[in-house]
Amino acid sequence: FEECSGRGEEPRCRGVVIYPIYFMVTFVFIWGNMVCVNTAHVMNCGVFGQWYYGKAVQPMKSLANAVSKNFGSVCFGSFIVATLRLVRLILGFIANKSQQEGNQAAACIAKIMLCCLTCFQKCVEFLNKNAYIDVAVHSNNFCTAAKNSFEFVMNAGVAVAALNGACTVIQV
């Protein structure tokens, strides 16, 4: 405990206490951001679903559904993506620290893991986006909606890829 007492020079144990707090604050920020973005996405999908099925378009009803009965699904899906993003940040931190310290093997392993995790994260985000459509339109829970969207993507993969490609071109 002597080196953590704070007498004299900067205590060496400070990073041990501070890093978990940084990670927790970062996680809460990422999760909160994802919840806001995905709540808006679920609301927009609900409005579009009302229009598509010939019902009266009521944006406030879609917002109310997104922040009430569908909010647990929004939070759960956002939690999954936020966790993956935090792990990516940690792996990036490890890769940078390892490279600064001259440990090329650890930096290479961390970068390989980072690449694999990024690919996995993109797949999860794609499935989340489609699961939120099912949540908004059919009011399914997140796990059921994710299963339904996975089955849909597997059965209609070419059409989904073409539609997503067209949407990407339009967004640019």
State pLDDT tens for residues 92-118. 999 999 999 999 999 999 999 999 999
Task: Let me know if 42 is exposed, middle or buried by CB neighbors in 10 A (0-12, 13-18, 19+).
Answer: buried
Q: Stretch 19-40: mean pLDDT, rounded?
A: 91
State the pLDDT at residue 9.
55
- Which segment of 47-56, 128-137, 158-167 scores lowest on mean pLDDT? 158-167
How many Å separate Cα 51 from the centre of its chain? 28
Measured CA to CA, the distance from residue 55 to residue 58 in angstroms comes to 9
For residue 7, is pLDDT > 50? yes
- Which segment of 17-21, 32-36, 79-83 scores lowest on mean pLDDT? 17-21
CA torsion, points 96, 101, 102, 106, in degrees to nearest 10? -60
Res. 84 pLDDT band, cuts 50 70 90? very high
Residue 113's alpha-carbon distances to 94, 95, 159, in angstroms, are 11, 10, 31
| Joined tokens for residue 68 | 């009430």
For residue 168, is pLDDT > 90? no
For residue 43, is pLDDT > 90? yes
Greater confidence (96 vs 10) lies with 96
Sorted by sequence, the CB contacts under 8 Å of residue 5 that are 6+ apart come out as: 11
- Which segment of 3-7, 58-62, 143-147 scores lowest on mean pLDDT? 3-7
pLDDT, tens only, 123-147: 999 999 999 999 999 989 999 999 9
Q: pTM score, two decimals?
A: 0.81
Measured CA to CA, the distance from residue 40 to residue 95 in angstroms comes to 34
